[in-house]
Amino acid sequence: MNLHEYQAKEILAKYGIPVPPGKIAFTADEAKQIASEYGDLVVIKAQVHTGGRGKAGGVKLARTPEEAREKAAQILGLNINGFITKKVLVAKGLHIAKEYYAGMILDRVSQRVVLMLSKEGGVDIEEVAAARPHALIKYPIDPHKGLRPFEARELVKRAGMEGNLNKLADVLVKLYQAYVGIDASTAEINPLVITDSGEVVAADAKIVLDDNALYRHPDLTPLREFEAEHPLEVEASNYGFSYVKLDGNIGVIGNGAGLVMYTLDLVQRCGGKAANFLDIGGGAKADIVYNALKVVLKDPDVKGVFINIFGGITRADEVAKGVIRALDEGLLTKPVAMRVAGTAEEEAKALLKGRPVYMYPTSVEAAKAIISMTGGTK
C-alpha cells in the first residue's frame, strides 16, 4: 500500500525524524490560509500516488499567501500520470544547503532490508545508481540486531556526507525503527536536506507498506485511498481476487498467478493485448468464477474473455458452472474462449456442451481464437 508524502512524513515525525511543518489543503483558499499561518516561503506539493510530480508541474514555491492560493489552484485538479490531484501539501520552505538521499528497501539477494545512502540527493536515485553506482552505498541490515548508531555513523562517513554526523546518523537509525515499526517495504527520504542553519530535515518522503502485515497496523489501514486505485481493482479486491488492470482488450481469468501471467504472455505472443490480470486463486467455486466474469466484463475495454484453467484443487466443472450462471443471467455479452484441463475436465466439457462458449484443447489455440474474435492482431 502506497502512502502519500504527508502521511509518510507524519510517520517519520512520530519516530523522531525532523520534517518541515506542513498541512493539507483541499482548496486554494485553504492553501492560502495555511501559507499565511507560516508567513514565509512555502512549497505546495500535489499529493498523488505517482512519481514525477515536479516534472508534471505538481510542485511549486510561493512567497506570499496570495501566491500560494494561485499556485494551489494550478496544482489542484492537475492530472499527473493519470492521477487527478485532489489535495496539496503546503509545507514551510527550507533554506537548503545540501540535498542527500537515504532509503531502505527489501533486498531479495541479501534477503535483508538494505539501507541505501547517497550524497547525491534530490534527484531520481535510480538514475544515480545507473550512472554512478559508487555514489550509492548499499548496506544490508542484520534483522536481529537492527541498525546500530555506530554503523549509521560509519555509513554517513563512507557516503562522504557533510553536516552534523550525529544528527545524520540518528535519522538513519530512526528510519530503520520506523521501517520495522510500521512493516514498510520501502521507506525513502529524498531529499534529506541540510539547511543553511545546519538542521537535518526530511524534505520529501515515500513509504510503501507491506500489504501482508497490514493486519497488525489497524491505525494505518484507513490510509488506503480507494479513489486513488482503479475502481475495478478495488471491486476485485473486495471479492478477494488478485486483479491488475492492463491496457489491452482481452479479459483474462485463470487460476494461479503463474498460469495467469503465462496466459498474458501467450496473448501477447499471439499478437493480442490483455485487458487485465485476474487470478481466481486455488479451489475456486462456481460463484467465484461468476464474480470474476462480472468484474472483467465491467471493463469497457474488454472485447472478449479468455478463461484458462488448470484443474488441481480447483475443479474445472465448478468453473464451468460459474460460466453457465453468467450465461443464464445474460452477463456474457462478449465472446468467451475457454481452455480447461486437469481435475474434472471431462465433466466441465459435458456441462458446457452446446453452450455458446468456445472451448479449445490448448492455451495457444484459445489465445489465437480470442484474438481473432476480438478484432485480430494489432
Partner 1 sequence: MSILVNKDTQVIVQGITGREGAFHTEAMMKAGTKVVAGVTPGKGGQTMLGVPVYDTVKEATKHHRVDASIIFVPAPAAADAALEAAHAGVPLVVLITEGIPTLDMVKAVAEIKAMQNVRLIGGNCPGLITPEECKLGIMPASVFKKGRVGLISRSGTVTYETAKALSDAGYGISTCIGIGGDPIIGTTFKDLLPLFNEDPETHAVVLCGEIGGSDEEDAAAYVKEHMKKPVVGFIGGRSAPKGKKMGHAGAIIMGSVGTPESKLAAFAEANIPVADTIDDIVELVRAKLG
Cell of 218: 489497524
Nearer to partner 1, 181 or 375 (CB): 181
Comparing CB distances to partner 1, the nearer of 61 and 130 is 130
Q: Is 83 in the site for partner 1 (CB under 8 A)?
A: no
**Residue number with CB closer to partner 1 (108 or 378):** 108
Kindly tell me which of 331 and 341 has the beta carbon lying closer to partner 1.
341
Q: Is 188 a catalytic residue?
A: yes
**DSSP reduced 3-state for 65:** helix
CA 360-364-368 angle, 5° bins: 80
Contact set for partner 1, span 120-179 (CB under 8 A): 126, 129-130, 142-144
Catalytic-residue membership of 243: no
Element holding 61 (H helix, E strand): strand 59-62
Letters for 303-342 (x = contact with partner 1 by CB under 8 A, - = none) are -------xxxx---------------------------xx
Contact status, residue 304 vs residue 366, Cβ threshold 8 Å = no
- In contact, 121 and 159? CB cutoff 8 Å: no
Q: Is 322 annotated as a binding residue?
A: no
Least Cα distance to 44 among 64, 68, 63 occurs for 68
In the chain, what is the straight-line distance between the N-terminal and C-terminal CA atoms, in Å? 34
For residue 80, say whether it is annotated as part of any ligand binding site.
no
314 marked as part of a ligand binding site: yes
Residue 304 and residue 370 in contact, taking contact as beta carbons nearer than 8 Å: yes
Upper half-sphere CA count for residue 102 (Cβ side, 13 Å): 29
Catalytic residues: 101, 188
The annotation places the binding site at: 45, 52-54, 94, 99, 190, 204, 255, 312-314
In the complex, which residues of this chain contact partner 1 (CB under 8 A)? Answer: 106, 108-109, 111-113, 126, 129-130, 142-144, 180, 183, 185, 210-213, 215-216, 242, 244, 246, 254-262, 264-269, 274, 277, 279, 282, 310-313, 341-343, 362-364
